[in-house]
Amino acid sequence: MSDQSFNPFHAAQQQFDHAASLLDLDKATRELLRNPMREYHFSIPVKMDDGHVQVFRGFRVQHNDARGPIKGGIRFHPQETINAVRAMAMWLTWKTAVADLPLGGGKGGVVCDPHHLSLGEQERLCRGWVRQIFRDIGPDIDIPAPDLMTNSQHMLWMLDEYEVMSGGHFPGSFTGKPVGMGGSLGRTEATGYGIIITIREALKELQLSPEKTTASLQGFGNVSRYAIELYEQLGGVVTCVSSWSQPHKKSFSFRKANGIQLDELLTITDSFGGIHADKARDLGYEVLDGEAWLEQEVDILIPAAMENQITGKNVGLIKPSVKILAEGANGPTTPEAAIQIGQRNIFTIPDFLANAGGVTCSYFEQVQSAMNYYWEKEEVLSKLDVKMTSAYIAVSDFAQQNNLSLREAAYVISVDRVARACHDRGWV
């Protein structure tokens, strides 16, 4: 479980500082890039179904827009903090840069638990969020998207509120919208598929066949499900997945030695990705502790839930069999744990490379919205494969040429691209 005293923004700054040292960045550029350019804190009053008004805390952080408009998701979570939002905004800057997208990085959040909100309350919260930040978002400024516990319906409510306030149609103001309402085919699959595309390329590099590998994943939301789907299409077997079980108010790991059944688990999963533990047991799954996903005898580990999940305290649980760690979530590995993982020569695909499929397809959606012309699903996924593969190969080649880890290489490439944009604009 997450350590509540852990500050993800300090971890993000620590990672940046290392890259800045490798690049020998000047002082002004370091100071500009290690902090957000802008951030917004606001209160969102929402009239609840019983008539009383509840005030929610909301955030939007715009880390850097030197390479283009801000891009980044909005999270609904009861433990959301401004430092987590700051960290993810910074990671989004590096993510868009490493994928070579003409965008900057940002993130938004609301401190709430949507499990305990009706659809009407969620809609009013979404519209309230837009009203607070309306002047500082838009297709040429900042384009939000769904993230943890937000979905296409939330984005459509937000888009509608934005268009009501602006008096026109601006479908490129938000991405992750429903297909048929300005959304892109393939967007749902994009993050999970992107993770597996990078794993596929890593397996080639390590001279391993996908069909001879096994994997364990943390999380059973949208990202994890589609990662499992594509990984199984490549011939791999997922033996364990972890998830929050809402009836029990805790997380569990669900294991089947011969492979979990994705379609079967989806029948006992709620809309937020929570698997019902008792029903899983009835289907023949071993129901284990929430951290058990980390200590499986598998070849590949994919943390695809939240930040700060692999720490100095639990990194020792990782078995010697593990060859690849693919960071599907943002910031799932603390710097302390990353050092130990590096010492064990576990091949790590860093988060902002591994999970860049989501923002890449969000960019595709933005382009399609601007053109008012939408591509077929096969075209979207084909373009995604090309982008993710080329990004991986560029990072891998740079790492080998400069004797760096994949994480260091990804950071150096992305930070250098953003720093150059800041210099070229004359900011520093």
Residues annotated as catalytic (active site), given as ranges: 107
Contact by Cβ (8 Å): 288, 253: yes
The beta strand positions in 78-186, using DSSP E, are 104-111, 142-146
Sign, Cα dihedral of 164, 169, 175, 180 = positive
- 166: tokens are 């602006």
Contact by Cβ (8 Å): 346, 323: yes
Strand partners, 288: 253
Helix (H, G, I), strand (E, B) or coil at 73: strand
Contact by Cβ (8 Å): 193, 357: yes
**Torsion from C-alpha of 298, 303, 305, 311, nearest 10 degrees:** 110
Residue with tokens 């069909």: 211
Helix (H, G, I), strand (E, B) or coil at 1: coil
Distance CA 424, CA 428 (A): 9
Q: Count of residues for the chain? A: 428
- 209: tokens are 């066949």
The per-residue b/e assignment along 26-60, b for 16 or more CB within 10 angstroms, e otherwise, is eeebbebbbebbebeeeebebeeeeeeeeebebbb
Contact by Cβ (8 Å): 369, 159: no
Strand 104-111 with 53-64, pairing: antiparallel
Sign, Cα dihedral of 399, 403, 406, 408 = negative
DSSP per position, 121-140: HHHHHHHHHHHHHGGG-BTT
> Which residues, including other chains, have CB under 8 Å from residue 21's CB and lie 6 or more apart?
none
Strand 38-47 with 214-218, pairing: unpaired
| First-to-last C-alpha distance (Å) of the chain | 40
